[in-house]
Amino acid sequence: MEIKFERFHLQSDLRSPLEGFETISVPTEVRIDPLTKRRSRIITWGLPSQGKFDFSKMVEESKGCFFCPENVLQKTPQFLKEIFPEGRICVGRAVGFPNLNPVGSYGSVIVLCHEHFLNLNQFTPEIYEEGLSVAIEIIRRTMAFDPDTRYWQISQNFLLPGGSTILHPHLQVIGDPIPTNEMEWLLDASFSYYQRNETLYWKDLIQIEKGLGKRYITNIGKTYWFVSFAPIGFNEVCGSVEGHGSITTLAKEEIASLAKGIVSTLKYYDAKFLNSFNFSIYSISGEAHYQLLVRIISRTPIQPYYLNDWTSFEVLQSELTANIIPEELCREIRPYFP
């Protein structure tokens, strides 16, 4: 096994007005992702939380949206008859349909629930089980129609900081014949790891993280949950499902495990007064060296005078930052998992 956890210690010395202009040292850690070799900066200072945000005015002003139950079957697009003769796909309360503003070959939206708005502690495993089941059906049927569409992302952008203009909880499902940058990095690096070691990176990583115990959260069935050594976002939590590269081959209990892990992470975010997040499931067919991965990150919460968490560092230097030490996040989030 050749998984290395490389890190560099940086330090900034200055005379602080908060300490009577005494000299202080502020550390920053640069960590290298063991797989992709991408750098990530762990900053050790954070902005104070402003507490819970009151969403009542925002909810009142936007309710009755296209995704609300009275509109969703009237005002949303329908799939091509060749792929889904029934037009839309429903499982429980989840409804899937094509995205009116797609960004790829096959873009869909899945409305997750009847409620126009949910606080992060109100999402339930059942909500995600139903939503992910719709996603799987969309992917299965689209791939039967167009087998070249091997690269899929099942994502959630929640609230404005997460990039969503619509409050109503929903997923995005996007399939293409070519990978995204992130998928290509993951695939290329997993493939060369396999060539060098003749083992699956994800299997080795989980074994090592389990042994170290500092970033390993738990397993729920065959889904292994951990905090990344070199996160690419704030409060990043990852899950990987053993024995699968594509979400389409998951059995019911594995879908339930994914759903539970996502909900556990959201409960932790809620307890930290965070309210906006993104997740992506990277689902790729026909790649023996890859294992299905979900990555969840929090965004700066909605609050008066919103602060964007992507600065010139992320957008122009491609250097990602995290604002909590991964080992500390792991310790804090463990009690929220079953």
Q: Which stretch binds Zn ion (CB under 5 A): 38-46, 65-73, 133-141, 310-318?
A: 65-73
Q: How many CB atoms lie under 10 A from the CB of residue 307?
A: 10
Q: Verify binding: residue 117, Zn ion, rule CB under 5 A.
A: no
Token couple for 310: 């992507």
The residues, any chain, with a CB within 8 Å of residue 5's CB and separated by 6 or more, are 31, 34, 229
Minimum gap (Å) between residue 113 Cβ and Zn ion: 9
Q: Verify binding: residue 65, Zn ion, rule CB under 5 A.
A: yes
Among the listed residues 27, 49, 50, 31, the one whose alpha carbon sits nearest the alpha carbon of residue 39: 31
Q: Which stretch binds Zn ion (CB under 5 A): 66-74, 243-251, 260-268, 296-304?
A: 66-74
Minimum gap (Å) between residue 86 Cβ and Zn ion: 22
Minimum gap (Å) between residue 117 Cβ and Zn ion: 8
Minimum gap (Å) between residue 36 Cβ and Zn ion: 37
Q: How far apart are CA 215 and CA 135, in angstroms?
A: 29
Nearer to Zn ion, 69 or 338 (CB): 69
Nearer to Zn ion, 169 or 175 (CB): 169
Query: Could you tell me the strand order of the sheet in which 216-220 lies?
Result: 89-91, 94-98, 106-111, 170-176, 151-158, 276-284, 293-299, 234-241, 223-227, 216-220
Q: How far apart are CA 304 and CA 296, in angstroms?
A: 24
Q: How many CB atoms lie under 10 A from the CB of residue 113?
A: 23
Q: How far apart are CA 294 and CA 336, in angstroms?
A: 18
Minimum gap (Å) between residue 68 Cβ and Zn ion: 4
Q: Verify binding: residue 59, Zn ion, rule CB under 5 A.
A: no
Counting residues that bind Zn ion (by CB under 5 A) gives: 5
User: Using the rule CB under 5 A, which residue among 88, 168, 170, 215 binds Zn ion?
Assistant: 168
DSSP, collapsed to helix, strand or coil, labels residue 181 as helix
Minimum gap (Å) between residue 164 Cβ and Zn ion: 12
Among the listed residues 128, 127, 160, 147, the one whose alpha carbon sits nearest the alpha carbon of residue 281: 128
User: Using the rule CB under 5 A, which residue among 31, 41, 88, 116 binds Zn ion?
Assistant: 116
DSSP, collapsed to helix, strand or coil, labels residue 333 as helix
User: Using the rule CB under 5 A, which residue among 59, 68, 90, 271 binds Zn ion?
Assistant: 68
Nearer to Zn ion, 96 or 326 (CB): 96
Q: Verify binding: residue 170, Zn ion, rule CB under 5 A.
A: no
Q: Verify binding: residue 67, Zn ion, rule CB under 5 A.
A: yes
Nearer to Zn ion, 157 or 235 (CB): 157
Binding site for Zn ion (CB under 5 A): 65, 67-68, 116, 168
